[in-house]
Amino acid sequence: MGELDAPGAPSRRFPPEPKSVAEARRFVRATLDEAAPETLDTAQLLVSELVTNAVLHARTEIEVTARAGDGGVLVRVSDRRPERGLVPYGSSAYTGTGQGLALVERLASRYGVDTGDAVKTVWFELWPEASPAPPPSDGWATAAPRFGPGETVTLLDVPEALCLTCTQHRHTLLNEAVLALASGDVPGVTAEDLAVALDMNDVISASVTAALRRQHAEAEFRSLPLWVPSGAGPPMETLRTVLDVAEEAARDERLLTLPALPRGHGFQEWLFDQIGDQLAGERPTAWTVMPREPGAGASEPVLWDAGQVQANRVATIAADESNRIIAVNGPAADLLGWPADELVGQPLTALIPEHLRRRHTVAFTSLLLSGRPRILGRSLPLPALHRDGGLVPVRLFVESQETADGRTVFVAQLSPRGSAPSPSPRPSGQVRPGATREAGGAPWPAFPGRDRRTGVGRAGGTSELERLSLLADTGAALSTLPDLNEGLRRVGRILTRWLADWCLVDLFTTQDEVERVCVMHRAPQGPWPEEYEGRLPPLSETARGPLARVLRGAGPLLLRGSLPQGRAASPLDAHYGELFRKLGANSAVVAPLRSPREVIGALTIARKGRGRPFTEEDLPLVDELVRAIALRVDNARLHQETRTIAERLQRSLLPALPEIPGLQLAARYAASSATAEVGGDWYDCFVLPNGDTALVIGDVAGHDLDAAIAMSQLRSMLRGIAVDRQEPPGEVLRRLDIANHTLHEEATATCVYGLVKELGNGLWELAHSAAGHLPPLLVSPDGRTRYLEDGAGLLLGVAPDLVRPQACDAIPADSTVLLYTDGLIERRGESLDHAMDRLRRHAAGMAREPLGVFCDELLIGLAAGSDDDIAVLTVRPGPPT
């Protein structure tokens, strides 16, 4: 280092305390005061990082040496723990800690570490740009920790993104705990325990980092050999205890660090348990998923991939931790009336109605501050904001995903739901042992004499247990998701994890065309032949290639080597052959997806490279797989057809609310999140010839097309009887029940029929009769609530000649009458009294809110995750004019 390395450079020693960071910075500024201003600023920044590292990880006396000369500067930071080597994590710019060595690498002209028997010294040089290029340095080549005796534990199926997230979180939490301890802000942690925790965390993080660097870069799940020192059990328990105390402090907002989300906490507990159990002689257990908890989000750690958002057929939007939109697909942009590129970069509140923005901000902040999500993994009916200012009723499902650099992304799917048409626009669990993971991209374990893809003996084929597990996981991937294409992509991830490098699914459309709906590769970041996705060339009479033959019912077919091309190959044959070469496949199996009625598509799985090719022995398993897949695809399509028909019927029956002087009206409808999006719930509102306003809400038993049809019949008959007779509510319901018994299949239903009458001078009353339905709720402007329980009678379909009771109640001005169906309040395992008390509390808190806000807040607060249809109708008389 020439003159810069000459002896006698000014130095100063500092105690291992947080205040030493600022003192070292001032010492460097005073010592190098003749250096160029930009050089001096950089030197101060880097010495701050290095002294901070020494305070946190070495905790010995620190000596800082600084010298200027030849236009450059040299700074050395020494501590007395040479065995505690440096661990350059290579963290991304998004992480909160671990950036010190990365800053030195980026900003210093030369840098390195010198390790002796008693001292470790980290140094850097800064040279002006006009200076001759300095000789290269060894960097951190000698920075590896000098570990003593220890043991190796194995972490199976480690998700890299989640692992990086937890590593960064532990560092951030412990680093801030050091500063908080100095000021007494973290009771329950001693300085001795914190020192042990820091040392143990450094060892674990260094071992994990070294193991990750040795693994395949494209793998999403990895099996890591992890070195830990002998006798690591007690210090690791101390680390666990200190982290628990620090997490609690973070939740109480006594630290700036945000607490861990549930899945991150679950992974960290698994990591510590694995180290402790294996040191005690137990066998390793693969990372599965933590027990499912309400609001915990997706059960499987999912690696964020923006391409999956674009490929999704369901309207999908992704936002980052700063509440900014980072990805939008076409269906979402169309649903909300925006060009997709204009939405990216905007705050998420641009899509949230004004009256719900504060609620969203509070909930999002609460998630980041407490680590306790409320809506992740739950289905929630609410309105989204259209670009033109209108409201779009949707059902929202949000899950969290992890990026490769440790950040969290929130991915929301929006499913349209029914709403009342407006007359005119106005301003406004734990996975069982041995279960296959759904995420793709894990490296296949290589066992002596065993196949790398299946993990079984090459001569013995797949065991019965593995065959049944694969069939079960494939079926579950399709049966647990409402979106067929997403289910097929999960099937692709399973198959590329255990059987093949590539998986493709082609399906016939309703126009008898062929569409490739799934292309999955074992390595998520590998080559992606996008030009081979989507609509395929037509299945013409001249097509004779493997795919064409399978689509006509042949197969399963085993393909080896290159595909033969005839002189007059059809476009479909040429397309498939080109794809086969593009994939670099050495073998493939293509098999038909047969429903009980017809061939509905084809499955192709391919292997590439020098791995074992497919053989005849693989065909029986593939045949079983395609039978299971085809059955579920056919059932999903039939279900979708039924749902589409019924949903259109139900949407057509949702009435436009009339405009009535002196009365405000609002209604909402949300289909079931657990069954077909159709059912028997309905509401109606219309003005009778005598001027009274009729209010109707009802619920036909069932959640299928039959229930929707019965609902439409009852709705039409009730309106006809009410308009024709204009009789009291009890008599109208009696006549409706008689008419119900004339139907081919009479319906069992509940209903409330009410008449709102204006008495003059701002006075209103509600006359109503209830047929087995939950009572209306009256909410006064001051928040008092009362159920209107008089007028209750038997449900429809039981005793048609029964005289039905009715009641009459005064409705004060600015009071709200709420009619609702049981899906709004009823929950399994909960008493009805408790559910009705919860409704009263929610409604009382919104007594003075506009009716639209009143309805939306009821759905948000009470209907998340409801497995039943929900209909809500509200009316509010105004004050006298």
Higher pLDDT, 306 or 777: 777
Range of the domain at 159: 154-279
pLDDT surpasses 70 at 427: no
Q: What is the CATH number of the domain that holds 345?
A: 3.30.450.20
Under the banding of pLDDT at 50, 70 and 90, the label for residue 86 is confident
Do 170 and 101 belong together in one domain? Answer: no
Q: Same domain, yes or no, for 811 and 720?
A: yes
Both 845 and 750 in one domain: the answer is: yes
Greatest mean pLDDT range, 4-8, 76-80, 206-210, 466-470: 76-80
488 located within any domain: yes
What CATH number did the domain enclosing 59 receive?
3.30.565.10
Q: What is the pLDDT of residue 828?
A: 77
The reply to whether 136 falls in a domain is: no
pLDDT score for 298: 39
Q: Is the pTM of this model over 0.85?
A: no
Which of 17-21, 671-675, 719-723, 798-802 is least confident? 671-675
Q: With respect to residue 807, please indicate whether it lies within any of the assigned structural domains.
A: yes
Q: Please report whether residue 198 resides in a domain.
A: yes
pLDDT digits (tens, 9 = 90+) for 704-748: 667 778 888 898 999 999 999 899 999 999 999 999 888 767 788
Q: Do 623 and 732 fall into the same domain?
A: no
For the ranges 328-342, 781-795, 853-867, the one whose mean pLDDT is highest:
781-795
Pair 659, 603 in one domain: no
Are 521 and 622 in the same domain?
A: yes
Q: Report whether pLDDT(185) > 50.
A: yes
Of 414-423, 492-501, 575-584, 683-692, the least confident: 414-423
Distance CA 473, CA 469 (A): 6
633 & 549 share domain: yes
**Model pLDDT, residue 780:** 94
Lowest mean pLDDT across 172-186, 517-531, 699-713: 517-531
Closest CA to 444 of 156, 152, 213, 155: 156
> At residue 71, does pLDDT exceed 80?
no
> 3-class secondary structure for 785-840?
EEECCCCEECCECCCCCCCCCCEEEEECCCCEEEEECHHHCCCCCCCHHHHHHHHH
> Mean pLDDT over residues 603-622, rounded?
84
CA distances from 164 to 94, 205, 266 (A): 12, 10, 14
Q: Of 613, 641, 669, which residue constitutes the final position of a domain?
A: 641
User: Which residues share a beta bridge with 236?
Assistant: none
Mean pLDDT along residues 467-472:
71
Tokens 């989204």, residue?
Answer: 384
Q: Name the pLDDT band for 37 (thresholds 50, 70, 90).
A: confident
Could you tell me the CATH number of the domain that includes residue 527? 3.30.450.40
Asked whether residue 369 is domain-assigned, the answer is yes
Secondary structure letter of residue 675 according to DSSP: S
pLDDT tier at 785, thresholds 50, 70, 90: very high
Same structural domain, 626 and 488? yes
- pLDDT tens sequence across 369-419: 655 666 676 677 778 888 888 888 887 888 888 776 557 888 888 877 654
* Tally of CB atoms within 10 A around 41: 12
Task: Please check the confidence at residue 677 and state whether its pLDDT lies above 60.
Answer: no
Regarding whether 779 and 659 lie in a shared domain, the answer is: yes
User: What mean pLDDT comes out for the span 48-66?
Assistant: 87
User: Does residue 848 lie in a domain region?
Assistant: yes
Please provide the average confidence, as pLDDT, over all residues in the chain: 78
Mean pLDDT check: name the lowest of 104-118, 453-467, 507-521, 659-673: 453-467
Query: Would you list the DSSP string of 247-273?
Result: HHHHHTTSSSSPPPPHHHHHHHHHHHH
Most confident of 47-56, 77-86, 126-135, 815-824: 815-824
pLDDT classification of 429: cutoffs 50, 70, 90: very low
CATH at residue 690: 3.60.40.10
Q: Give the residue, 361 or 856, on which the prediction is more confident.
A: 856
For the cut 50, the answer to whether the pLDDT of residue 146 exceeds it is no
Please indicate, yes or no, if residue 629 is contained in any of the structural domains.
yes
Crossing angle of the two packed helices 705-725 and 619-653, in degrees rounded to 10: 10
Count, in order, helices (H) and strands (E) of the chain.
Answer: 20, 29
Based on the domain organization, do 174 and 200 belong to the same domain?
yes
Q: Which is higher by pLDDT, 398 or 317? A: 317
300: in domain: no
Looking at 416, 448, 483, the residue that finishes a domain is: 416
373 and 270, same structural domain?
no
What are the residues whose beta carbons fall under 8 Å from the beta carbon of 598, sequence distance 6 or more? none
Q: Do 267 and 340 share a domain, yes or no?
A: no
Based on the structure, what is the number of domains in the chain? 5
Q: Give the residue from 252, 279, 306 where a domain finishes.
A: 279
